[in-house]
Amino acid sequence: MEHVPAAAWITEAATAAEKQGPGNLLRVVLVVMVLGCVLVGWLLLRGYRRDDD
């Protein structure tokens, strides 16, 4: 097992973080999609509610 200096490890971690890709965009898309599904479900269920007066 070879010794890796801390500075080299931090540099490697920083370059890996830059190459992550569309992580934040994918999270936003998934959150908006889930919230949209909940909203559509609520609107549909609200429309089928009976008002028995």
Residue 36 located in a structural domain: yes
| CA separation for the pair 53, 50 (Å, rounded) | 9
CA angle 44, 48, 42 (to 5 degrees): 30
Instruction: Give the per-residue pLDDT at 43.
Output: 92
Domain that holds residue 48: 22-53
Whole-structure pTM value = 0.52
Instruction: Give the per-residue pLDDT at 2.
Output: 67
Residue 50 located in a structural domain: yes
In the chain, the number of structural domains is 1
pLDDT in tens, the chain (53 residues): 566 677 776 777 777 666 766 777 888 999 999 999 999 999 999 887 776 55
